[in-house]
Amino acid sequence: MSRSTRPLLITVAGTDPVYRGYCLESVVAGYDVALIDSKPPTWQQHLVVDHEVADTRDSEAVVAAGLALAERHAIAGVVTWDEYSLAPTAALAARLGLPGNTVASMNAARNKAASRARFAEHDVPSAMSTCVDTLAHATAVAHRTGFPVVLKPASHAASIGVVRVNRPDELPAAWVFASAGAGGQGAEGYGVLVEEYLSGPEISVECATVGGITTPLAVTRKEVGFAPYFEETGHTVTADDPLLAEVGPVAVQAVRALGISDGVQHVEMRLTSTGPRIIEVNSRIGGDLIGKLVRLATGLDLPRIAADIACGNVPSLTPTKTRTAAVKILYAPATGTLTTRHLPVKAGVQPPWLRQVSWLHDAGDHVALPPIGDASTARVGFFIVTADSPARAHSRVADLTGRLTLTVVQPHTT
């Protein structure tokens, strides 16, 4: 048994040190943590008090691992910030009699076809969507929907297999890309969706839900590139963003329609000519350091909020800061071998507004852009800045980006 007097929280998966390390570091400030992951802890060994190894996408395995931990500790709550572990985490919370969402609500959030059906039932503005299983079916649906359309796997994340199709002649190649991406997407959904393309700026609303009551906390304004693919290249969060008053109620509608009762949500939408329309609801903290941006801009600590809710404690939802935070994600300029990556900022003397510089690839690494590669092969690094206004933050991002050197040697072709 743990000798600590602090409550113990089980975290399921989400152990990437680059994108999720800050989540674990935030949570351990208030809770002891036991980890369930597909491999034993490494970099996080000093942050956890216990662990179990299990397939974090398998509900039975996660429940068994959680029961093993419960034999050794008094468990206060269960949380995940991993998209693919949402349903198993819900199953474990239910088995332990702890606060959490139902498995049905997590399946509805994970399966985009099921989400669209619930949105339609509850009059949540969204997109026309049809699940297809062949190119012929996709072609017929695309013509019925009207071009452009979007093809996407039903229950993946991180824009895997997502592609815009502008014309009928683009459908065969898009079908191959989306179908390949649909592999390994998780048990909650299957196949490929053909959806109406939503035109307009892309944003997300970061929310917290306690006992079925959802509070919109912040707006993330997104940059998306590499058309016809949907790679996210940057995010900006500003405290007191006036857009929150317009899009927050739509996010609340979407969360309610899915039956989500607890936790932190990352609600993606597009600002179309007919108003905000939902892309999807992720029932966990947004990726790409968005939770860190929210904390830098508003003072709201999303990982700690998620932990508090999971343990049945009242979270603090009152902002304590008013500024802007932005992350710029640095992509390779081409597919090939990375030979140079340099940002002229000296360690130890960087300006206080430059909050983080991280590299994901070193010189000599192979890098690949879509459709050959994905985010893991295309991204070279990122940096985070803060400022007293969005304009100043964007100016700082532009200045640093202009001084960045990224060089790739492309393979010879004959």
Residue range(s) defining the domain that contains residue 311: 198-322
Per-residue pLDDT, 347: 63
- Two structure tokens written together for 125: 């503005």
Work out the angle at residue 188's Cα, subtended by the Cα atoms of residues 120 and 221, and round it to the nearest 5 degrees.
Answer: 60
Beta bridge partners of 218: 206
Same-domain status, 241 and 309? yes
Same-domain status, 160 and 273? no
Same-domain status, 280 and 216? yes
Indicate whether 123 belongs to any domain.
Answer: no
The number of domains in the chain is 4
Per-residue pLDDT, 344: 87
Same-domain status, 307 and 338? no
- Two structure tokens written together for 14: 């989400």
> Of 293, 322, 351, which closes a domain?
322
> Of 166, 196, 226, which closes a domain?
196
Work out the angle at residue 45's Cα, subtended by the Cα atoms of residues 66 and 291, and round it to the nearest 5 degrees.
Answer: 80
* Strand pairing category for 192-196 and 163-165: unpaired
Single pTM value for the model: 0.94
Per-residue pLDDT, 104: 96
Same-domain status, 247 and 210? yes
Indicate whether 115 belongs to any domain.
Answer: no
Per-residue pLDDT, 349: 73
Per-residue pLDDT, 348: 67
Per-residue pLDDT, 2: 45
Same-domain status, 192 and 206? no
Residue 337 identity: T
Smallest Cα–Cα separation from 371: which of 151, 158, 160? 160
> Per-residue DSSP letters for 340-393?
EEE----TT---TTEEEEEES--TT-EE--TTT--HHHHEEEEEEEEESSHHHH
Q: Residue 139 maps to which CATH number?
A: 3.30.1490.20
What are the 10-residue block averages of pLDDT along the chain, 414 residues in total?
A: 77 92 96 97 95 96 98 97 95 97 96 94 95 94 96 80 94 92 70 93 98 98 94 96 98 98 98 96 97 98 98 96 98 96 80 94 96 93 97 97 94 65
Same-domain status, 135 and 229? no
Indicate whether 122 belongs to any domain.
Answer: no
Residue 413 identity: T
Indicate whether 80 belongs to any domain.
Answer: yes
Q: How far is CA 3 from CA 73, 287, 300, 315, 366, in A?
A: 9, 34, 30, 25, 47
Indicate whether 261 belongs to any domain.
Answer: yes
Three-state DSSP state, 304: helix
Same-domain status, 217 and 152? no
